[in-house]
Amino acid sequence: MNDILLKTENLTMSFGGFNAVDGVDLAVERGSVHALIGPNGAGKTTCFNLLTKFLSPTSGRIYHDGRDVTRMEPAEMAQRNLIRSFQISSIFATMTVLENVLVALQRRHGGSFVFWRRSRNLRQLEQEAMGLLELVGLEDQAREPACSLSYGRKRALELATTLAMDPSLMLLDEPTSGMGHEDVERTAELISRAAEGRTVLIVEHNLPVVAKLADRITVLCRGQVLAEGDYETVSNDPTVIKAYVGEDHDEH
């Protein structure tokens, strides 16, 4: 009855004997917002790197849309319309804000091998790009160099570039980290709107945001799945509470 878009079987990533991801079975339902949470170093980002093929798993399999994609190239994954964002803000620093989005649109609409025309002539794309920038509130800074933005605004730009790809599956790694309070709300709002008609896998430390967005939550700890379910189930699970408290203990 449930339609699984992304699935992993016994996914394991070992860095010199240390299993950062350890036998994870994950199933992301089509059309849902699925959150991946867990204490620092739990292996969430490593999971993302595996799912987007930035890393090749030590063992285990990954299926996207029913197809085994375990050995695929990262760019091919993106061409299957699975687009990620990064935990550390990831933009094209020397290009303008507008050009950042244009480069993404260009990939989607084709024409990236055009070398004889001036890139300024891409008017139709420019309109679409401005629309996306408005969505994240960056329309006034469109002509600024991207590296001049504040950290939170860079994250917003990254989100706009991700949305420009019109992805069917979005993987967002802590999209609100480094944002001010207002931006967090605005971004959460934006993600929940963008999630319509899409599937989203999100890593997020901000639990209210998770509670608001996620249909289903997987808790990761030391590379393993600790618990899974909706927010209610997970937040009342004693092992989850213990994992978080235990981590707090370590930190202080």
Partner 1 sequence: MTELFGIPLPILLGQLLVGLINGAFYATLSLGLAIIFGLLRIINFAHGVQYMLGAFVSWMLLNYLGIGYGWSLIIAPLIVGVSGLVLERVLLRRIHGLDHIYGLLLTFGVALIVQGIFRNFYGASGQAYAIPSWLSGGFNIGVMYLPAYRVWVIAISAIVCIGTWFAIEKTRLGSYLRGANENPEILESFGINVPLLLTLTYGVGVGLAAFAGVLAAPIYSVNPNMGDNLLIIAFAVVVIGGMGSIGGAIVTGFAMGVVEGLTKAFYPEFSEAVIFLVMILVLMVKPTGVFGRAESLIEQISAPHETVRVSRQPRFLHGWIFLGLIVLLIAAPFFLYPIFVMKLLCFGLFACAFNLLLGHSGLLSFGHAAFYGIASFLFAHSAKVWGLSPEGALIVGTLSAALLGLVFGWLAIKRRGIYFAMATLALSQLIYFLAVRMPFTGGEDGIQSVPRGVLLGIFDLNDDSTLYVLVAVIFLASIFAIYRLINSPLGQVLQAIKDNEARAVSLGYKVTRYQLFAFVASATFAGLAGALNALVFQLASLADVHWSLSGEVILMTLLGGMGTFFGPLIGAIVVLGMENYLLFLGEWVTVIQGLVFVICVLVFRSGLLGTLAQQIKMKL
Ligand X SMILES: Nc1ncnc2c1ncn2[C@@H]1O[C@H](COP(=O)(O)OP(=O)(O)OP(=O)(O)O)[C@@H](O)[C@H]1O
Beta-sheet strands, E only, within the chain: 4-15, 18-29, 33-37, 59-64, 67-68, 82-84, 169-173, 199-203, 216-221, 224-229
208 binds partner 1 (CB under 8 A): no
Instruction: Report in angstroms how near the CB of residue 235 gets to partner 1 at its nearest.
Output: 31
What tokens were used for 44? 């969430």
Which residues, in sequence order, are bridge partners of residue 14?
Answer: 19
Instruction: Report in angstroms how near the CB of residue 236 gets to partner 1 at its nearest.
Output: 35
106 binds partner 1 (CB under 8 A): yes
Tell me the one-letter amino acid at 204.
E
Task: Single out the residue of 17, 161, 174, 23 nearest to residue 86, CA to CA.
Answer: 174
Neighbours of 64 (CB within 10 A): 22
What tokens were used for 246? 């235990």
Among Mg ion, ligand X, partner 1, none, the one that 42 touches (CB under a kind-dependent 5 to 8 A) is ligand X
**Residue 19 or 96: which CB sits closer to partner 1?**
96
The single residue among 12, 58, 119, 235 that binds partner 1, judged by CB under 8 A, is: 119
Among ligand X, Mg ion, partner 1, none, the one that 198 touches (CB under a kind-dependent 5 to 8 A) is none
Interface mask (CB under 5 A) for Mg ion, residues 25-64, using x and -? -------------------xx-------------------
Distances in whole angstroms, Cα of residue 227 to Cα of each of 153, 160, 179, 203, 234: 33, 32, 28, 15, 7
Which range touches ligand X (CB under 6 A), out of 26-34, 41-49, 133-141, 158-166?
41-49
Binding residues for Mg ion, rule CB under 5 A, total 3
Show Cβ contacts of residue 74 under 8 Å, excluding neighbours closer than 6 positions. 52, 53, 54
Dihedral Cα 41, 208, 240, 15, nearest 10 deg: -20
Interface mask (CB under 5 A) for Mg ion, residues 76-95, using x and -? -----------x--------
Interface mask (CB under 8 A) for partner 1, residues 22-61, using x and -? ---------------------------x--x-xx------
Instruction: Write phi, then psi, for 104 (nearest 5 degrees).
Output: -70, -45
Among Mg ion, partner 1, ligand X, none, the one that 70 touches (CB under a kind-dependent 5 to 8 A) is none
Give the separation between CA 234 and CA 222, rounded to whole angstroms.
Answer: 17
Query: Parallel, antiparallel, or unpaired: how do β-strands 59-64 and 224-229 relate?
Result: unpaired
**Chain residues that interact with ligand X, rule: CB under 6 A:** 15, 20, 38, 40-46, 87
Residues that bind partner 1 (CB under 8 A): 49, 52, 54-55, 73-75, 78-79, 83-86, 88, 90-96, 99, 102-104, 106-107, 111-120, 122, 143, 145, 147-148, 161, 165
